[in-house]
């Protein structure tokens, strides 16, 4: 990934950190989970993501005025530039297709949308 400071393709995810799940700009208080690439493989991280996404859908399905799910952000601030650039503490970068594939996210969304009777209408970036 490209570093926002030096603009080189030297940005990589840290071996451990926190992943945030934000749907339609909404995040639960518990809308994040830890990952550790030294102890977990990608399927385990995807399973953790799926559980967190299901928690969100269960929470969101209880809203009275539910809107269609149009945007999902799966991001982390735990990235490092190989050139040693200082990355702002408030910066977050997508982990889609880094730790969790876009295809699996879409499959999870569709399955959970049916289960919790929520309409999925993702907008293309």
- CA 123 – CA 27 distance, rounded (Å): 18
Domain annotation covers residue 125? no
Instruction: Give the C-alpha separation, 34 to 125, whole Å.
Output: 26
Report the domain count for the chain: 1
Q: What is the pLDDT of residue 94?
A: 94
Residue 121 lies in a domain: no
Q: Which domain holds residue 90?
A: 11-115
Q: Could you list the pLDDT tens digit for every one of the 125 residues in the chain?
A: 899 999 999 999 999 999 999 998 888 888 899 999 999 999 999 999 999 999 999 998 888 888 899 999 999 999 999 999 999 989 999 999 999 999 999 999 999 999 999 999 988 76
Has residue 48 been placed in a domain?
yes
Other CB atoms within 10 A of residue 117 CB: 9
Structural domain contains residue 6: no
Q: Which of 66, 91, 74 is nearest to 31 (CA)?
A: 74
124 inside domain = no
Residue found under tokens 């040693």: 84
Residue 39 resides in a domain: yes
Instruction: Identify the sign of the CA torsion 30, 34, 40, 42.
Output: positive
Give the per-residue pLDDT at 125: 60
**Euclidean distance between CA atoms 73 and 89, whole angstroms:** 18
Q: What is the pLDDT of residue 104?
A: 93
């Amino acid at each position: 990934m490209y570093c926002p400071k030096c603009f080189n393709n030297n940005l990589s995810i840290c071996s451990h950190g926190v992943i945030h799940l934000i749907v339609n700009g909404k995040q639960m208080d518990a809308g994040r989970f830890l990952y550790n690439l030294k102890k977990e493989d990608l399927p385990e991280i995807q399973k953790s993501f799926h559980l967190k996404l299901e928690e969100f859908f269960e929470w969101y399905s209880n809203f009275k005025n539910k809107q269609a799910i149009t945007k999902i952000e799966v991001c982390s601030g735990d990235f490092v530039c190989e050139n040693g650039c200082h990355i702002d503490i408030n910066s977050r970068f997508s982990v889609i297709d880094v730790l969790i594939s876009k295809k699996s996210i879409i499959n999870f969304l569709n399955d959970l949308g049916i289960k919790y009777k929520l309409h999925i209408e993702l907008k293309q970036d």
